[in-house]
């Protein structure tokens, strides 16, 4: 599964976790419910693993996420210059990392 091909629109963020091991290796894991394409009726669970993180910013309005859960609270997402941008209803996740891996959960 290629991260460049994910259909972010109307998806939902379900979970995320961050870890740094004793050697300083960093990893951020995000779990999403995303539609395979614009015609899909059902979402699939997708794990995005961000490795060797340089920086990340997460600014989300929890009330807006909850209010838009049924319709999907993600407006858009894309990668540009090793930076993953995900735009939400009143929020943004921005992650700069060396590697992004998308897989089904």
For the record, the structure tokens of 8 come out as 């972010």
Mean pLDDT of each 10-residue bin along the chain, 105 residues long:
92 95 93 92 96 96 93 96 96 97 96
Residues shown for the chain: 105
* pLDDT score recorded for residue 14: 97
For the record, the structure tokens of 55 come out as 């920086």
* pLDDT score recorded for residue 37: 87
* pLDDT score recorded for residue 52: 94
| Phi, psi of 46, rounded to the nearest 5 degrees | -125, 130
Spatial CA neighbour of 48 closest among 97, 100, 6: 100
DSSP H helices, 5-81, are 62-67
* pLDDT score recorded for residue 15: 97
Residue whose entry in the numeric block shows the structure tokens 């859960």? 69
């Amino acid at each position: 599964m290629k991260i460049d091909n994910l259909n972010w629109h109307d998806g939902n963020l379900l979970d995320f976790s961050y870890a740094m091991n004793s050697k300083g290796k960093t990893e951020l894991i995000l779990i999403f419910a995303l539609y395979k394409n614009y015609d899909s009726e059902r979402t699939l669970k997708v794990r995005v693993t961000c490795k060797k993180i340089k920086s990340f910013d997460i600014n989300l309005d929890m009330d807006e996420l909850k209010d838009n859960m049924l319709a999907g609270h993600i407006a858009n997402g894309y990668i540009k210059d090793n930076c993953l941008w995900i735009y939400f209803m009143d929020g943004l996740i921005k992650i700069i990392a060396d590697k992004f891996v998308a897989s089904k959960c």
